[in-house]
Structure 1
Amino acid sequence: MKIENKNFDGTVIHQEPLTHIMEKNGFVLGSQWDYERMTFDYKINSTLKNVTYYLRVAGEAIEGDVDFKSAVIRLKEPYLGTHYYPHGVEYGEDEEYPQQVLDKVDRVIQKLGDDLQKYMETH
């Protein structure tokens, strides 16, 4: 599920401060990065057995190299997925999410957007 109309979609930022801001907000750099793309995941636990939700923020390098931590990253629209153990994460539009998960996503995205905006204003 894409999380639309968020204030940081399209933000352009250097990789190192981006990583710091993401980690400060509870995101973990995904292991599926490559030389041109990065993903950050935020884990949201569920009361349902064997179900976990993940908020993902992806970015693409528009300059430099992610592997050398020298990239300039353009953030993309965040999206939400459900991990069904042991099958994997589903990001389909057919997924349904409890309201408490959607509320948590809104709070996390708002705080992340605020932190990114503060950084951009001072640099």
Structure 2
Amino acid sequence: MYFENTGIENTAADLELLDEIMLNHGLVREGQWDYERVTYDKKFEIKEGTFYLRIFGFTKNGDVGAHDAIITLMKPVVGKHYYPHGVEYGDQEVFPSHLVKSCQQTLKAVKEDIKAFEIRL
């Protein structure tokens, strides 16, 4: 399930700053990156299953591995994890309302924190 109109999509900021802001809200990058892309995940283990709030990002110029990149964020999404296959985001998935509300609160807080440091491209 994609979250629309969060104000996060197309926001750009320095990678190191994003890492810090995201971590403050429980979103971790860990090993989910390559030299041009990043993924920030927040894991929810609830009675209905395991879910991930994900915010993807990319850089047009810069190097994620060298910690020298301006990251443009994409539309946030929440998906359900199925072992051993991975995370599904499809329309057939059911996302509990309390999970969706928690994700929306996280996204709103992230947007507020990024706003002061946003880079206009």
Greater helix content: 1
TM-score with structure 1 setting the length: 0.89
2:68 is matched with which residue? 70
Superposition CA RMSD, Å: 1.5
Q: How far apart, in 2, do the equivalents of 1:74 and 1:37 lie?
A: 9
Point out 4+ residue stretches in structure 1 off by more than 6 angstroms.
Answer: none
Q: Would you say the 8 A contact 2:36–2:64 is kept in 1?
A: yes
State the identity as a percent.
38
> Secondary structure of 2:103's match?
helix
Q: Which residue of 1 aligns with 2:52?
A: 54
Specify which of 68, 79, 82 is matched with residue 80 of structure 2: 82
Please list every run of 5 or more consecutive structure 1 residues that lacks an aligned counterpart in the other structure.
Answer: none
List aligned pairs for 1:1-123, cutoff 5 A: 1-48=1-48, 51-120=49-118
The count of aligned residue pairs is 119
Task: Output the amino acid matched with 1:17.
Answer: L
Moved more, 93-102 or 81-90: 81-90
Alpha-carbon shift at residue 88 of structure 1 (Å): 1.9
CA deviation after TM superposition for structure 1 residue 96, in Å? 1.1
TM-score (norm 2): 0.91
Letter in 2 for 1:2: Y
